[in-house]
Amino acid sequence: MRDRVLIGLALVLFLTLVTYPMWHAVYARTTAAGPQLKLPQTAKTCVAPVAFMRASHMKLLINWREGAVRDHRLEYTAYDGEKYRVNLSATCLGQCHTNKKEFCDRCHSYAAVSGPYCWDCHVDPTTVVARRMP
Amino acid sequence: MKITRKEFLRITGLSVAGAGAAKLVRAIGVAGPAPPSSVSAKRWGMVIDFQRCRPGDDCDDCIKACRLAHNIPEIPERAHEVKWVWKERYEKVFPFQQSDYTRRAYQGHVLPVLCNQCAQPACVRVCPTAATWKREDGVVMMDWHRCIGCRYCMAACPYGSRSFDWEDPRPYIKHLTADFPTRTKGVVEKCNFCEERLANGRAPACVEACRQKAIVFGDLNDEQSPVRQLLRARFSIQRQPELGTGPSIFYLV
């Protein structure tokens, strides 16, 4: 029974390591709650039902992109018959989701979605200061 | 009527062969060259009038308007320059239309040049990803989502109308507009004939901005269009038409 101390120490070390993620979560104040998103203030409907947009907005955007750039389809008829201009900056952000940081970015960061690189090129209209014409 | 076994087999065989042949003919027809587009189809073109254009007087209205409309960066390093509409020296614009005398007379003259929106664009033929293609109305389009930045198109273009983004252009854009995307590092860009404005029935930004009314825009397939009227009334030249690219930009001399 001379190894009692060693065994005890090893046990403590083992338990610490195994439960480390839990302690870390407690320390970082992680909760299971979803991200607090800033929803559009005025618009009540999106171009597709909310459940679809939540799961598949990336597919819809890819289709918009292909349609607008390659096939020159610049108008989108939504499921409820409403017509929208196919334009990420002007329609999605310009008309409804005026707060990209607290809508797009917040959820992407919660879901640990790296990218997307849309914004390397497309411009968030709210960040643009009034332009001067020559 | 009674059909013999031999007769039955012959008819069956012939009909199977006939159906197969029809399918083959159709497949060849689909794969073959597309039928020429109808005469009513548009082909956008542009006429630039040297007698009205004053690029030597420090006028760069067209270039400024384009820069604002398309988020074009102003990169001081010349090797990294991004050009949609720009001023080029006469001897570079028309290298094979010179004599000793014109060379002397027009030494140092500058002219506005842009993508020629060719009828047979060399850039489109070489693009490995179909990131650049020719639309039915004659606009040579660019899809920056698909461009992999290989720069084959730049090598193919005889007019130097394409620029490569060697660095992120965002910091070099003075007045950002949300109406048009910027580009990213590693893609090739060029004049898009303001296709985003054409979609709304507006003329290109350079045409609207030109105070001298030196740039005229219209449908080359429409005999009554202003460009066709000008091309009938006055003598015009294209940039190196002998290359077979069929430029849609004409210069009135």
User: Token match 């009540």: residue?
Assistant: A44
Distance from CA of A41 to the nearest CA of B (A): 21
More confident residue, A57 or B99: A57
Q: How many domains does chain A have?
A: 2
- The string of pLDDT tens digits covering residues A15-28 is 999 999 999 988 88
Q: pLDDT above 70 covers what percent of chain B?
A: 94
- By C-alpha distance, the chain A residue nearest B177 is A128
User: Residue B184 is nearest to which of A65, A69, A121, comparing CB atoms?
Assistant: A121
Residues A71 and A107 in one domain: yes
Alpha-carbon torsion angle B84, B85, B88, B93, nearest 10 = 90
- The per-residue pLDDT for B38 is 44
Show the domain range for A98.
50-127
- The per-residue pLDDT for A42 is 83
Mean pLDDT value across chain B = 90
- The per-residue pLDDT for A132 is 46
Distance from CA of B91 to the nearest CA of A (A): 30
* Residues B162/B154, Cβ–Cβ less than 8 Å: yes
In this complex, do A134 and B175 lie within 8 Å of one another by their Cβ atoms?
A: no
In this complex, do A123 and B176 lie within 8 Å of one another by their Cβ atoms?
A: yes
What is the domain partition of chain B in residue ranges? 46-252
Q: Are strands B132-134 and B140-142 parallel, antiparallel or unpaired?
A: antiparallel
Both tokens of A24, joined, read 């870390």
- The per-residue pLDDT for A29 is 82
CA distance B108 to B121: 29
Per-residue pLDDT at B35 exceeds 50: no
In a domain, A63, yes or no: yes
Residues A22 and A65 in one domain: no
Residues in B whose CB is inside 8 Å of some CB of A read 61, 64-65, 68, 71, 135, 141, 143-145, 175-184, 199, 209
User: Residue A123 is nearest to which of B143, B144, B178, comparing CB atoms?
Assistant: B178
Q: Is A86 exposed, middle or buried (0-12, 13-18, 19+ CB in 10 A)?
A: buried
- The per-residue pLDDT for A20 is 95
More confident residue, B199 or B56: B199
- The per-residue pLDDT for B37 is 44
Size of chain B, expressed as the number of residues it contains: 253
In a domain, A44, yes or no: no
User: Residue A121 is nearest to which of B141, B175, B182, comparing CB atoms?
Assistant: B182
CA distance B144 to B220: 27
ipTM for the whole complex: 0.76
Residues A26 and A91 in one domain: no
CA distance B177 to A125: 8
User: Token match 């819809």: residue?
Assistant: A60
Residues A86 and A21 in one domain: no
Q: Domain B46-252: which topology?
A: Alpha-Beta Plaits (3.30.70)
- The string of pLDDT tens digits covering residues A101-116 is 899 999 998 888 887 8
In this complex, do B178 and A65 lie within 8 Å of one another by their Cβ atoms?
A: no
User: Residue B181 is nearest to which of A94, A121, A133, comparing CB atoms?
Assistant: A121
- Mean pLDDT, to the nearest integer, of B114-124? 96
CA distance B68 to A134: 9
- The per-residue pLDDT for A36 is 86
Closest to B249 measured CA to CA, from B241, B234, B238: B238
* Residues A40/A98, Cβ–Cβ less than 8 Å: yes
| CA dihedral for B57, B63, B68, B74, sign (positive or negative) | negative
- The string of pLDDT tens digits covering residues A37-78 is 888 888 888 999 999 999 999 999 999 999 999 999 999 999
- Mean pLDDT, to the nearest integer, of B194-212? 93
Residues A54 and A116 in one domain: yes
Residues A66 and A115 in one domain: yes
In this complex, do B184 and A89 lie within 8 Å of one another by their Cβ atoms?
A: no
- The per-residue pLDDT for B56 is 72
